Chain A
Amino acid sequence: MEFLAFLVRRVLWSLLVLVGLSIVIFAIARIVPGDPARMALGPTATAEQVADLRADLGLDRPIVEQYGRFIAGLARGDLGRSLLNERPVASDIRDTFAATFELVLFTIMLAFAFGVPLGVAAARWKDRWPDNLVRVFAIFCAVTPGFFLALLLQILAGYVLHILPTTGRLPPSMDFAADITGLVTIDGLLRGRLDVVLEGLRYLLLPSIALAAATMGQIARITRSSMIDVASQDYIEASRAFGVPERVRVFKYMLRPSFVPPLTIMGLEFASLIGNAFVVELVFAWPGMAAYGIRTILQKDLNAIMGVVMVSGVFFVLVNLLIDVLVGFVDPRVRIRGRRA
């Protein structure tokens, strides 16, 4: 019951964060630049054209009313129209978001699948060679710029070894539309197209490695330190004294309480992961929201930019809510007390 109250409270806070976020974004887009219409039309447009567009976009209204319209649109899932091609921003983002979501999902799975075992191994053999190896590896992962790793992987796998595709989501020759969930691999499974699933995974591999490296490094580091912290707890010494084998101690008694910090870190790091997705998608020509965002930013398409930042923020907030639920499952203290330990 307390957990439910905790979650309700978290949802309310999240809504508040989203409102705050919308204010920040609105301020950046509407107040900072002066005149978005002039920006979108460029210096060659006539004053009349600019005035028309201003009226069209409601820019001639008081700023509070403009914000009211913005937030009302948000609530309906309406992010306005692109200033350049009049297409609804929301539908453009929806089309590209699935690709980003698939990439990010796969990235998180990779980061945990490798980060946690590496952290466990490092903690288990603390100050011995596996630990040193993992620590060096984790640091290198954390400090290699995402775009640089992306380039290196492209050179290595694409040009030198010729084993993996370096751009796109699927081979151009493959006729497949991901029209159920928008995720190539999932839709491939649902349609029973194993060839699509395999190709999809092959195309996912390099971008997600480039994107996962930094997060994986952080997860390995945090897992290591929280495992070491838990290892010195009395309850681990107690289970040792009662003759519980080391395997069970490490993978059950130590891993589960150690799992909360990496989860929390994942939530906090999620923003920088999305940020990195912008460069990685660009390098691998991944047709995602980040690539769309870069394009709109370079074209100074304000409504689209606001949409992309807003959706990134909503994505962050939702992921963190999910993580709160997961933390509650992992740690009964959170479930029972209704707050983070």
Chain B
Amino acid sequence: MTEIPADNSPRRLSNAYQNWYRFSRNPTAVIGAAIVVIVILAAILAPWITPYPEHVGAVVNFRARHLPPSAEYWFGTDNVGRDIFTRTIFGLRISLLLALVVLGTAVPVGTVLGLLAGYFGGWVEIVIMRITDIALAIPPLVMALAVAAVLSPDLINSMLAIAALWWTWHTRLIYSITRQIRTQEFIEAAETLGASKFHILIREILPNCVSALAVKTSLDCGFVILVGASLSFLGLGIQPPTPDLGTMVASGSAFLPDSWWESVLPGCAILVVALGFNLLGDGLRDLFDVQEVR
């Protein structure tokens, strides 16, 4: 057979030039990466780049209520006269923090469990994969709602509730990859040479999961932020006056359709953040040639 694929779809290429060629020709990856970098920088630098950093707190300025977007207030003002642009930029912090905490716990836990289930098989596999099946059946949002109801409705509890379910996706992903490569010859070779199980898991199998994991984690950043925004939209996010995008959409929606900017613009901000992570994930998938994982 010839080495040229019939459909000319890009396959894994080791050549650095070809990787660069593909990355630069892949607008989704470039745009996604740009959005993610800008969002993260904006969140970190919020106190210095926003026009009214003091509006983060319980400031009231009734003369400037419900002002439409202008040069002075880019995103307009809310019902107590605070600058929505400032609060939106600060709101990014909560969204990113949520993604960081949830994925910071879910990814390592999910990866370890997936590796164990995929490599050892037997009862380890049965126990771990059945638990993921159970966790998969509970909508994260509903779980977070229930936990928030039982404990107190705050951000930490919501994060814990989401993280308690989110690892299942990573476990399933790593499990399926591990299952695929467990039987391959380089693993058998390492086993024959007497490599420890730990060595095989960490040095042989894990590196093969990294690209899929990167794609999945990038996509998940977007989805976790969406779930978090939904929670705060329902009133179970961080307590006011700390700015939170979902909460802003909810409180702004009371003034629809006249003061549309109060809910629409923070909503757009959520959309843009989620979009950035998704484009980045998609672009990485094309670059690494990882299969569709969700």
Interface residue ranges, A against B (CB under 8 Å): 13, 16-17, 20-21, 24-25, 28-29, 32-33, 39, 126, 135, 139-140, 142-148, 151-152, 154-155, 159-160, 218, 221-222, 225-226, 228, 231-232, 237, 261, 265, 268, 271-276, 278-279, 282-283, 293-294, 296-298, 300, 302, 305, 308-309, 312-313, 316-317
Partner of A279 from B230, B260, B271 at Cβ < 8 Å: B230
Beyond the given A140-B271, A275-B141, A276-B141, could you list 15 further A-B residue pairs with CB under 8 A, ordered by the A residue number?
Answer: A25-B146, A32-B151, A135-B28, A145-B249, A145-B270, A147-B233, A148-B271, A154-B256, A159-B256, A279-B233, A293-B145, A305-B150, A309-B146, A312-B142, A313-B138
Q: Which of B130, B226, B249 has the most CB of A within 10 A?
A: B226
Of B3-11, B117-125, B207-215, the stretch lying at the interface with chain A is B3-11
Q: Which residues of A contact B257 (CB under 8 A)?
A: 155, 159-160
Q: Which residues of B contact A140 (CB under 8 A)?
A: 271, 275
B234 and A278 form a contact (CB under 8 A): yes
Q: Which residues of A contact B291 (CB under 8 A)?
A: 225
B interface secondary structure, majority = helix
Partner of B6 from A39, A151, A232, A272 at Cβ < 8 Å: A232
A20 and B130 form a contact (CB under 8 A): yes
Partner of A237 from B6, B135, B139 at Cβ < 8 Å: B6
Does chain A have a CB within 8 A of B148? yes
In the A-B complex, the 8 residue pairs with the smallest Cβ-Cβ separation, listed nearest first, are A275-B141, A275-B139, A143-B274, A20-B134, A148-B267, A297-B149, A159-B257, A271-B139
Given the interface pairs A145-B271, A151-B253, the reply to whether A33 lies near B150 with Cβ below 8 Å is yes
Residue of B nearest to A308 (CB): B142
Least CB distance from A26 to B in Å reads: 12
A151 and B137 form a contact (CB under 8 A): no
B149 and A272 form a contact (CB under 8 A): no
Q: Which residues of B contact A268 (CB under 8 A)?
A: 136, 294
Given the interface pairs A28-B150, A147-B249, the reply to whether A274 lies near B139 with Cβ below 8 Å is yes
Q: Which residues of A contact B151 (CB under 8 A)?
A: 32-33
Partner of A278 from B145, B256, B260, B274 at Cβ < 8 Å: B145
A305 and B233 form a contact (CB under 8 A): no
Partner of B264 from A135, A152, A237, A294 at Cβ < 8 Å: A152
Q: Which residues of A contact B256 (CB under 8 A)?
A: 151, 154-155, 159
Contact indicator per residue, chain B 1-40, by CB within 8 Å of chain A (1) or not (0): 0000111010000000000000000001000000000000
Q: Which residues of A contact B134 (CB under 8 A)?
A: 17, 20-21, 24
Q: How many residues of B contact A (CB 8 A)?
A: 54
Query: Would you mind naming 21 contact pairs between A and B with Cβ atoms under 8 Å apart?
Result: A13-B130, A16-B130, A17-B134, A20-B133, A28-B146, A32-B147, A139-B279, A143-B222, A145-B249, A159-B257, A228-B7, A232-B6, A268-B136, A275-B140, A278-B230, A294-B234, A296-B149, A308-B142, A309-B138, A309-B143, A312-B138
Q: Which residues of A contact B271 (CB under 8 A)?
A: 140, 143-145, 148
Q: Which residues of A contact B222 (CB under 8 A)?
A: 143
Inter-chain CA distance A282–B141, complex, in Å, is: 14
A20 and B282 form a contact (CB under 8 A): no
8 Å CB contacts to A: which residues of B231-265? 233-235, 246, 249-250, 253, 256-257, 260, 263-264
